[in-house]
Amino acid sequence: MKKITLLLVLCAGLLNAQKLTSNEISIIKQGDIHSALPVYNVSEPEQSKTLLGMSADIDPKDPNTAILVERMKLSLLSTGSGVGIAAPQVGINRRIIWVQRFDKEGKPFEYFLNPVILWKSQLQNLGPEGDLSITDFRDQFYRSKVIQLEYSDLKGKKHTEIVEGFTAVIFQHEIDHLSGILISDKKEKEKNDLYERADAFIKIK
């Protein structure tokens, strides 16, 4: 029975990673494919629809995926101060993110395909966050201090790792984007949440 369930889950994942649409390919290949893609802003109605949409898995081995990954990195670097970006922020509702790894020597930028948070710690910290797609918005948010992450690389190989600290915050922020969650909406939804102070912050269920 367990094998059947696992097979169904795998099949569902493959179906979810459907081929890129002609419109998505058009966006990915617009202009010079070796240049940055424009970053979407929530203030633009059409761009806002993409930012608020749900993202589907992407096929790691599709040649267009590699192009999108590289252009997303250029888009992030072009901001000068960004520490992460998600595919919806360049107009593609697919599960790709870039994150600056402050937990590694040299603080490198790394990409992650079809990232999923498998586990979050109850222990939370409160810290400031901004967003490349929301001009002049910054606020304080609670995020889990430690997460367990699963993702794929461009060869289709899956990886799992534990991430903590500020880098874990960036992952949570960018993965929220893949579910159409913006920090401006998150703050509104959290207004009635209750918190208590411990050694760190623990959210009351």
C-beta separation of 150 from 163 below 8 A: no
Q: What is the DSSP letter of 166?
A: H
Residue 190 designated active-site: no
The Cα 89–Cα 180 span in angstroms is: 10
b/e map 153-186, b = 16+ CB within 10 Å: eeeeeeeeeebeebbbbbbbbbbbbbebbbbeee
CA dihedral angle for residue 193, residue 196, residue 201, residue 205, rounded to 10 degrees: -50
Active-site choice (24, 105, 110, 174):
174
DSSP 23-88: HHHHHHTSS-TTSPPPPP-TTSHHHHHHHTSPPBP--TTSHHHHHHHHHHHHHHHHTSS-SEEEGG
Rounded to whole angstroms, how far apart are CA atoms 158 and 115?
10
Cα 9 to Cα 13, 38, 60, 84: the distances in Å are 6, 35, 18, 29
Question: Which residues are tagged catalytic?
Answer: 174
